Amino acid sequence: MASRTYEPWPAPVVTAVASVLGDTAQGLTGREIGQLLAAVRVPEVEAGNKRDRLAGALLHQQERQQASNCVIAFITAAMAPVRYARQPHVFSRRQDDLNEVLVHVGLRVNDEGKLSKGPAAATLGEAARHASSLRAELRRRSTHPEVLRYCTLEILAKNPFHASLEAVKSVADRLRQLTGEGLDGARLVDAVLMPGQGTARVAVNANGTGPELDEQKGLANLVKGLFSMYRNPAAHEPRLHRTVTDEELLELLTTLSMVHRRLDGARVTR
């Protein structure tokens, strides 16, 4: 952004920026925050945790200067790509999280780590859309944590092909964990999810009536279909010959979330 004086940002936006960059688990360390504040000439303030310390310093300086330049300078320094040469996925995560906040003031962090103009949003729904963040949309859809646990790194690396492969693996792995079974693929599904002569080993209903058995078989066939569509081809074909778009990945992860939620309430016979 050009060198000029910018209007102060709303306090909730500055606080949200501090929450991202000062996050307990994923944010900057306390030492890094101190070094960056000194680098952009923002005096420190006494506060409890990292987020409060950073938010207090930026809000105090913004109020004193009646400008958001200090906040912009801190974000730019914190997001300098050279800081993430060995951890590009950390850059992607922070970039996405910051963009969910900055969309409220019509800005975004670009791939150079600098702030540039972007569409402004007034609602959380608009913010998720305008942030162009796959992770934001997944959170908006309340994607099941078991799905995200298997493919977050691939999502952060903006690699839908491998994210789809790892996400589908989450269902097979969970079925094995639930039952102690050692099979894989369609054989695993037939052994634990498909009703045979009696109740399925992982039963999502009572398996007592025709409609209940149809529902159980439908879920089993859906899982086998997902394996056939996404896991088997991805394991054997080069990525060059198989394109997975962000939209397709979102649809897949939403479907897998539904499967995991049915497994959440399943009755398991080991």
Residues 6 or more apart whose CB falls under 8 angstroms from that of 16 comprise 101
Q: The whole model's pTM is what?
A: 0.71
Answer left, alpha or beta for residue 66, where phi above 0 means left and psi between -120 and 50 means alpha: left
Which tens digit of pLDDT belongs to each residue from 52-110? 999 999 999 999 999 999 999 999 999 999 999 999 889 988 998 999 899 899 999 99
Average pLDDT estimate for 112-117: 94
Distance CA 17, CA 196 (A): 54
Which tens digit of pLDDT belongs to each residue from 193-237? 999 878 999 999 999 999 999 999 999 999 999 999 998 765 555
Residue 159 has pLDDT above 60, yes or no: yes
